[in-house]
């Protein structure tokens, strides 16, 4: 199957499997989404969803969070990993939102990426899921499947994002981001399939015999 045929097939198949994929991180507004996405770095979404209720009971707005101490925040987010750094970032960005953005999460990449603890991927998720701006956040699942499906060479997350944006229409980016994640978790996980077992891998590459060794981001 040639590249263009794979792209059409993958797009159609993911739409069939996940016609309306939910946002996996529980949140109530752009601010709580931003905090949840920040916490999800090197942590599972399931773990984040276990922790954020207590955090948002403590503070669910920049105003309330800015009044907390790093120690208070850290005591709650500790199970997420990298907790001291994340706690400091949460407090810092909350104060910046108060001082520079009228206590609102900005809806631009540049402004988001200026916030502590917010890199390009986190900004992309917030832009897509909070503001509906077309973006294609690339996490480890998407980076892995892009290689298994030969949509990108795995050279870098930046390259994977560029390749996926080139292959798929802009109006599909936000939904595809979620659909690929759900498919990766359910059918094509890191330590299984290896490009050989799931339906999309077998359909796109019926003659493939060797496992695909994924280059890490």
Q: What angle do CA 140, 8, 208 make, to 5 degrees?
A: 65
pTM of the model: 0.93
Helix (H) or strand (E) run with residue 37 in it: helix 30-39
Confidence category of residue 30, pLDDT binned at 50, 70, 90: very high
CATH of 3-21+136-204, one of 1.10.1670.10, 3.40.50.300, 3.40.50.150, 3.40.50.1820: 1.10.1670.10
**CA pair distance 69, 48, nearest whole angstrom:** 20
In three-state secondary structure terms, 142 is: helix
**How far is residue 17 CA from its own chain's centroid?**
19
Per-residue pLDDT, averaged over 167-193, amounts to 97
pLDDT at residue number 215: 83
Supply the pLDDT for residue 216.
Answer: 78
Reading the block at residue 88, the tokens are 């400091």
Higher pLDDT: 216 or 159? It is 159
pLDDT at 217 exceeding the cut of 80: no
3-state SS, 92-138, equals HHHHHHHHHCCCCCCCCHHHHHCCCCCCHHHHHHHHHHHHCCCCCCC
Alpha-carbon distance values, 12 to 40, 174, 187 (Å): 29, 15, 16
Tokens representing residue 4 in the block: 């263009």
Residue 176 pLDDT greater than 90, yes or no: yes
Compute the distance between CA of residue 186 and CA of residue 172 in angstroms, rounded to an integer. 21
User: Residue 88: what pLDDT?
Assistant: 98
Six token digits for residue 217: 């981001």
The fold adopted by the segment(s) 30-131 is: Endonuclease III; domain 1 (1.10.340)
Catalytically active residues are 121, 139
117 touches 156 (CB < 8 A): no
Distance of CA 73 to the CA centre of its chain: 22
How much is the mean pLDDT over the chain?
A: 96
Domain with CATH 1.10.1670.10 in the chain: 3-21+136-204
**What one-character DSSP code corresponds to residue 214?**
P
Residues of the chain with CATH 1.10.340.30: 30-131
């Amino acid at each position: 199957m040639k590249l263009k045929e794979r792209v059409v097939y993958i797009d159609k198949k993911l739409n069939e499997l996940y016609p309306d994929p939910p946002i996996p991180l529980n949140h109530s507004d752009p601010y709580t989404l931003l905090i949840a996405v920040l916490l999800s770095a090197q942590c599972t979404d399931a773990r984040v969803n276990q922790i954020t209720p207590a955090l948002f009971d403590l503070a669910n707005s920049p105003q309330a969070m800015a009044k907390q101490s790093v120690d208070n925040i850290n005591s709650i987010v500790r199970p997420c990993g990298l907790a001291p750094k994340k706690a400091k970032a949460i407090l810092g960005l909350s104060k910046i939102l108060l001082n520079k953005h009228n206590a609102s999460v900005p809806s631009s990449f540049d402004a988001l990426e200026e916030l502590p603890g917010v890199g390009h991927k986190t900004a992309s998720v917030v832009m897509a899921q909070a503001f509906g701006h077309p973006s294609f956040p690339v996490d480890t699942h998407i980076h892995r499947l892009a290689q298994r499906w030969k949509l990108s060479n795995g050279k870098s997350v930046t390259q994977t994002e560029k390749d996926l944006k080139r292959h798929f229409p802009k109006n599909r980016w936000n939904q595809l981001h979620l659909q690929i994640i759900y498919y990766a978790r359910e059918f094509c996980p890191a330590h299984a399939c290896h490009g050989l077992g799931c339906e999309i891998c077998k359909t796109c590459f019926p003659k493939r015999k060797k496992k695909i060794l994924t280059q890490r981001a």
